[in-house]
Amino acid sequence: MHIATIHSEAAHAVSEARYRAIVQSALDAIIVIDGLGHIREFNPAAEHMFHWAREQVVGLDIADVVIPPDLREGHRQGLMRHITTGVTTLLDRRLELVAIRAGGERFPIELTVTRSDIEASPCFTAFIRDLSEQQRLTAAVADHARRDIVTGLDRYVVLEPRLIGMLAGGNTFVAVMLIDLDRFFGINESIGHALGDEVLRTVGVRLQTLSSEQVAVCHFASDEFVVIQQGGDATSAMLLAESIRTLLSIPFGTDDYRVLLTATIGMSCAPAHGNVALDLLRRAQAAAERGKGLGRDCVCPFLTADMHDIEERLTKGAQLRGAVQAGELALHFQPKFATSDLRLTGFEALLRWHSASLGEVSPARFIPIAEALGLMSEIGNWVVREACRQARVWLDAGHRGFTIAVNVSPQQLRRPGLARAMGDALREFGVPGEMIEIELTESSVMESLTRVQEELAMLKSLGTTLTLDDFGTGYSSLAYLKQLDLDKLKIDQTFVHGLPQSVLDASISRAIVGIGHELGLRVVAEGVETTAQAEFLNTIGCDELQGYLLGEPASAGLVEMHFDAIDPERLARLLRAAAPA
């Protein structure tokens, strides 16, 4: 034999061995067939996928092995057409088809076929991937998008098209009810999120019992649900809403826990309140907001006043978005003084909005709008930076011994970034952390205690002081005092207003001061408007005073005068002069 021939055959043998090694080790199923459709190679991955052993199928028609019976004839005709004419719809394309296993189970595959003729004989290699798991995951994701995994209810995205269809007629009565579980965040914090989810699951089961051809139920968001009633009238819708409220008031629990729930339900009705699904939902939300203001645990039908509130929210919200960039926001500062010697201790920064088109807008009006539109983090970060900037101005003017307190909204605490914004501002203006106080409300703390504790720990690491504002107005103050690393308590002005005549206000104020001092905290009283109030607070040991008696909120330029009036004797004379004869 010629030496070149020997080398050629040897090279071919090596190539063949290498090819077989690759085929045998491939993760994808690989099946090689000849021009008649007979199987020539069937790798281990193909054995695993189709549940056939290689020796069982080599030489058989591939159609009889992996193609479902109803598709086999089509496969054979396609192969023959390609062999005789060269026409194909299969080669070198990635296709999704259906295959069959040895036991008859049909399953989805991804198929790619290539042709590589050997000695003028056609040879086809099929690369096959099982899509069963991928399709299962895709279906699970799609189901998750449509169904809430905690409550088991459809999501609103499923219900909305049905609602739109109900409204298409124009005159059909449809009631949209938004159900908001009252203070559910407190339940999560008290019994844990796992048991909290179990309560939500039970709520879903109870609401699902209402489903019928006329009534649809869905999970909207977090602790909110939507129920839609088609047909009937406003009276029947109100009866349904009240029955829902009663249904949810039945105690939830097992041997391990017992939970009492209440719900606030806002309701809008078509055609009286419109025929657009999104509008009706928003109006039901507005009615629920009003219900919360009325004390919760009630059913609130939508009113025209709610419509005005929505329109005002949208109008003011659009303008509020650009207020920071337009320079329309400003800080005013109200001074605070040491009770014992009336020494200036610092200021509380209060946000003001002077709109170019609306004029002065009350914080009581625009703060809730900012919260509802998710703007408080942006606005709050601006407040933090502006407070630090002003502290730097006063430090450069030679003033010392003061702090600036900034109020923090629940939204700022829920979202990460407050401590980072504070740290950035302190570094930018070179202000010591101890010059900034963070005032928290009880509601902001209760929303998510674990998340709040993490954020407050980061703020404390910057040296800032933490103050619990409006102390005594919440329902779980003492429980949270045990878990928060606070520095100050602030007596709410509602308890200061009646001092010293009101025995109840005097007792509450005295108790707050006592609790604060027992815990090593300083106590501040806000809303001080009379000398009698200031003197009483001094006698019970309150540490600081804030109120119109000592100074109204004003711009930074105007309140700077208080730095020049820190002589205790001078302030004492002012207080004596303000006292009634």
For 289-348, the DSSP string reads HHHHHTTSSSEEE--HHHHHHHHHHHHHHHHHHTTTTTT-EEEEEEEEEETTT--EEEEE
Provide the Cα torsion 68, 70, 72, 77; round to 10°.
Answer: -150
Query: Is the pLDDT confidence value at 10 over 60?
Result: no
Classify 179 as helix, strand or coil. Answer: strand
Claim to verify: residue 330 and residue 370 sit in the same structural domain: yes
- 3-state secondary structure string across 126-146: EEEEECHHHHHHHHHHHHHHH
Mean pLDDT of the chain: 85
Tell me what percent of the residues of the chain surpass a pLDDT of 90.
48
Q: What is the pLDDT of residues 271-284, one digit of tens each?
A: 989 899 988 998 99
Q: What is the CATH number of the domain that holds 284?
A: 3.30.70.270
Structurally, how many domains does the chain consist of? 3
Q: Which residue range forms the structural domain that includes residue 256? A: 147-302
Residue 217: inside a domain? yes
What pLDDT score does 7 carry?
46
Domain at 73, CATH number: 3.30.450.20
Q: Does pLDDT of 20 surpass 90? A: no
Confidence of residue 2 (pLDDT cuts 50, 70, 90): very low
What is the structure's pLDDT at 450? 66
What does the pLDDT average to over 35-48?
91
**Pick from 109, 115, 133, 90: nearest CA to 50:** 109
In a domain? residue 310: no
Residues 375 and 508 occupy one common structural domain: yes
Same-domain check for residues 425 and 477: yes
Q: Could you tell me if 244 and 201 are in contact, meaning their C-beta atoms sit under 8 angstroms apart?
A: no
Residue 5 pLDDT = 45
Are residues 221 and 81 both part of a single domain? no
Say whether both 383 and 243 belong to one domain: no
Residue 319 lies in a domain: no
Amino acid at 543: D
Please, are residues 168 and 271 in contact by the beta-carbon 8 Å criterion? no
298 and 379 co-located in one domain: no
Contacts of 574 (CB under 8 A, 6+ apart): none
Q: What type of residue is 231?
A: G
Can you give the three-state secondary structure of 527-568, one letter per residue? Answer: CCCCHHHHHHHHHCCCCEEECCCCCCCECHHHHHHHHHHCCH
Q: How many helices (H) and strands (E) does the chain have?
A: 24, 21
Q: Both 17 and 124 in a single domain?
A: yes
Q: DSSP letters along 76-91, please?
A: HHHHHHHHHH---SSB
Q: Indicate if 298 and 195 belong to the same structural domain.
A: yes
Q: Does residue 142 belong to any structural domain of this protein?
A: no
Whole-number Å distance between alpha carbons of 306 and 279: 12
Phi, psi for residue 59 in degrees, rounded to 5: 95, -15
Same domain (yes/no): 389, 440: yes
Question: Domain check: are 248 and 111 in the same one?
Answer: no
Domain match, 180 and 80 both: no
Taking the whole predicted model, whether its pTM rises above 0.75 is answered as no
Report CA Rg, the chain. Answer: 36
| Domain boundary pick from 107, 136, 165 | 136
CA-nearest of 305, 309, 302 to 280 is 302
Domain end call among 136, 168, 195: 136
321 within domain boundaries: no
Alpha-carbon span 509 to 337, nearest angstrom: 18
**pLDDT band (50, 70, 90) for residue 203:** very high
- Which of 72, 78, 77 shows the shortest CA–CA distance to 91? 78
3-class DSSP state for residue 100?
strand
Do 389 and 282 lie in one domain? The reply is no
221-263 pLDDT per residue, tens: 888 999 999 999 999 999 999 999 999 998 887 667 778 889 9
pLDDT at 186: 67
Judged by average pLDDT, the poorest of 90-94, 454-458, 572-576 is 572-576
- DSSP3 helix / strand / coil % (the chain, rounded to 5): 50, 25, 30
Q: What is the pLDDT of residue 564?
A: 76
- As a whole number, mean pLDDT of residues 540-544 equals 96
Residue 314 lies in a domain: no
Domain assignment of residue 313, yes or no: no
Kindly compute the dihedral angle of the four CA atoms of residues 346, 348, 351, 352, in this order, to the nearest 10 degrees: -70
pLDDT score, position 15: 53
Please state, in angstroms and rounded to a whole number, the distance separating the CA atoms of residues 94 and 110.
Answer: 7
* Cα distance between the two ends of the chain: 134
What is the three-class DSSP state of 107?
A: strand
Residue 14 has pLDDT above 50, yes or no: no
Examine the fold and report which residue of 136, 162, 189 is the final residue of a domain before the chain moves on: 136
Q: Residue 475: inside a domain, yes or no? A: yes
